[in-house]
A = this chain, B = another copy of it.
Amino acid sequence: MDNDRPKSFPQGEQLPVPYELASLHAHQEYSLVQVGGISIGGSKPAVVAGPCAIENMKQALSIAWEVKRLGADLFRGGVFKPRTSPYSFQGLGLHGLHILGEVRLETGLNTVSEIMSIAQADMMMKYVDVLQVGSRNIQNFELLRCVGQMRKPVVLKRGFATTIEEWLLAAEYILSEGNDKVILCERGIRTFEPYTRNTLDLSAVALLKTLTHLPVMVDPSHATGLRELVIPMARSAVAAGADALMVEVHTNPETALSDGRQSLYPKQFEQLMQDINLIAPLVRNKRDSRNESVGVSPALLSA
């Protein structure tokens, strides 16, 4: 096992950075990831919304129509659920994928769902437009290579205790297989603070915009675990420069099979969309700020 000691910024002779394909320096411009007609990484933040888990056709369709009506770009819903306990609800599996397919057919929304193993790759290819690699698999290198070979867009969630450098190197596994459609998703890190589920690290978002050309997404739902904090943290994420958001929305959170406590009501999601659509245009043109940032080498950052 190689060294898991968190690394400082590379300095002097240690340059270039170890994540060559992911680095902004090598690429020189920000990447756009296209999903259907949606661009992730452009001037308007893309919004992925939906329930934590697909529960049944009716639930999925009703939420999908709601979030579409309110402006969501993509529909999310878990069908293979990573569960801490072997005795918890593990997701609907293939049946859930069929539901995702139906949602796409009926609403026209492209779909995002988590892939947990190589064995699911063939099934996912058919029904899912964006593959999500979850926090628990951030260093499941075989799965990273697999999604690299699948060539579909990938949302790569940061692990509970993954450094920014390790996260970029996990992206590098996918990129090095020839798939450059990687979206990095900040979803909170584990700290000593018990009031929130995790600690959302928005500095990482701003820092990533100086280090990598890949689009950056933020998931305020899993980060905070508290519905009350999702709207302000969504605003905050966009203000920090996030290219996309992933939020949990449920028409009936009280009965949700998982994570109801952090799911927005549709009315709250509407508010969120209004808020971020006001803020996004005010975030200074990223291409300009990139030009400033490109001049800042990691070596200088650590000086």
A: residues with CB less than 8 A from B are: 1-9, 18-19, 52, 78, 81-88, 114, 116-119, 134-142, 159-161, 163-166, 169, 172-173, 176, 189-207, 209-210, 222-226, 228-229, 232-233, 235-241, 258-259, 261, 271, 275, 278-279, 282-284, 292-293, 296, 301, 303
Contacts and interface: CB of A to CB of B under 8 A. Distances in A.
Contacts of A161: 159-161, 190, 192
Given A5-B225, A239-B239, 15 more contacts: A1-B114, A2-B82, A2-B85, A18-B87, A86-B169, A119-B142, A194-B194, A195-B207, A199-B203, A206-B224, A207-B229, A228-B293, A235-B239, A239-B279, A282-B282
A68 B178 CA distance: 45
26 contacts: A1-B258, A2-B83, A2-B84, A4-B190, A5-B194, A8-B194, A86-B173, A118-B119, A136-B140, A137-B139, A137-B140, A140-B140, A159-B160, A159-B161, A160-B160, A161-B161, A161-B190, A163-B195, A189-B191, A190-B192, A191-B192, A202-B202, A226-B301, A228-B293, A236-B240, A275-B282
B233 A1 contact: no
Contact of A239 (B169, B192, B223, B236): B236
Nearest to A276: B239
A215 to B, nearest CB: 16
Most B CB within 10 A of own CB, among A88, A118, A166, A228:
A228
Given A202-B233, A284-B275, A3 B197 contact: yes
A127 to B, nearest CB: 19
A4 B197 CA distance: 7
Contacts of A164: 193, 195
Given A203-B223, A232-B240, A4 B166 contact: no
5 smallest CB-CB distances across A and B, nearest first, come from A161-B161, A136-B139, A206-B232, A239-B239, A235-B239
A193 B189 contact: yes
Given A199-B203, A207-B229, A2 B87 contact: no
Contacts of A278: 282
